[in-house]
Structure 1
Amino acid sequence: METKINKYYVYMGIIWTILFAGMSFYWALGGMIGVRSLGGAIYEQALDPEPAFVTIVWMTAFIKLFGALLLFMLLVKWRDSWMRMILYFMIKVSGALLFLYGLFNFITIILSTIDLLDFQLDGYAIFWRLLFWEPYWMIGGLIYFFTIKIAK
């Protein structure tokens, strides 16, 4: 089974991932721009972070960079078809999970705005989560998903 790579999506995905990881690195270093838009417990913990919270933010930044590494690996001419297939499945699954994470968060935040769920998000965080954060996850998921396909 042969795979075909869409380099345009690979490069977009790498840029998307580096920007996404960059935000986490900035926050891990103590930056506060944009943190309020996340709302809830994350914002509260960021105001007076404990070492464990900062460690988690650092870990998420590096985990996000792992996605860029996967995408870079698509640009390598692998002789073994098994490596191409492993990358294919890892990236397809990652794309689907990124998209679904954003979609489910979007849905749950909408449900909280109509009082079907109880979240501790203020209007500011709800606005930015629905306008930026959750769509950002979904767009990234679509980019990952379309970077590679089975060639006919």
Structure 2
Amino acid sequence: MTASTAERPGDVKAPGRIFTTPPAHVKDPGAEKWWAYTAALWMLIFAGFHAYWALGGTFGLPPGETLRDNLPLFIIDIIAIPMNLGGAALALALVQRWGLHIRRFWLLLGGWGCAALMVVHALPAMVGLAEFWLDMRDTPLEGLERFSLLVYEPFWMLGGVLFAFASWYYQRRTRPVTS
């Protein structure tokens, strides 16, 4: 959805740009904006970890693991950094006025797409996590599997939930008025 070019009280016209006030039917995000801000922070934290790991850091990785010794993971890490930064910008676009210059369809597609990707990524591990907490596993968790199940996958699920709520509130807040 783009901002309307019809004049309204309080509009400020910038040279070569559309008016800067939102259309009348777009509500202020209010407290709901914190879902999007937290999703953006989630993305920035993840981008920071990927940059740290790409530079050789090991905190947050399983003991003895480094990306320098694993070229495929290193490449994935390098690709993940700009993707996470883009995800942070997407989350902010859901609540910032400058996001109104992007079509509503694209923001919803991106927001719901991020939510779905993260939830689908983490969902199978959530079953394993439930088995772990309910003491239904036949074998103990060790090494990379333990790290993945207890740290990595729940973090993905958290990101998916944050993007789902941010997208849902954006969708409700920007829904066109029907007569």
TM-score, normalised on structure 2?
0.63
| Counterpart position of 1:150 | 172
Give distance in 1, aligned partners of 2:37 and 2:100.
Answer: 22
Q: Where does structure 1 lack aligned partners over 5 or more consecutive residues?
A: 116-121
Number of matched residues?
A: 139
| Counterpart position of 1:118 | none
Q: Percent identity?
A: 27
Q: Deviations over 1:123-149 (max 9, x none)?
A: 033333222211110011000010133
Q: What's the CA shift for 1:67?
A: 0.5
Q: CA RMSD in A?
A: 3.1
| Counterpart position of 1:119 | none
3-state SS of paired residue (2:56): coil
| Counterpart residue type for residue 171 of structure 2 | K
2:79 to 59, 74, 88: 59
After TM superposition, the structure 1 stretch with the greater mean CA deviation from structure 2, 22-31 or 65-74, is 65-74
The answer to whether the aligner puts 1:89 opposite 2:109 as a matched pair is yes
Which structure would you say has the larger RCO, counting Cα contacts within 8 Å and 6 or more residues apart? 1
Distance 1:13 1:78, change over 3 A: closer
Distance 1:21 1:130, change over 3 A: same
Give distance in 2, aligned partners of 1:79 and 1:124.
Answer: 46
3-state SS of paired residue (1:36): coil
Q: Where does structure 2 lack aligned partners over 5 or more consecutive residues?
A: 2-24
Give distance in 1, aligned partners of 2:128 and 2:115.
Answer: 20
| Counterpart position of 1:48 | 69
The answer to whether the aligner puts 1:31 opposite 2:23 as a matched pair is no
Within-5 A mapping of 1:1-152: 5=29, 6-36=32-62, 43=65, 46=67, 48-50=69-71, 53-74=73-94, 75-77=96-98, 83-107=103-127, 114=138, 123-147=142-166, 148-151=170-173
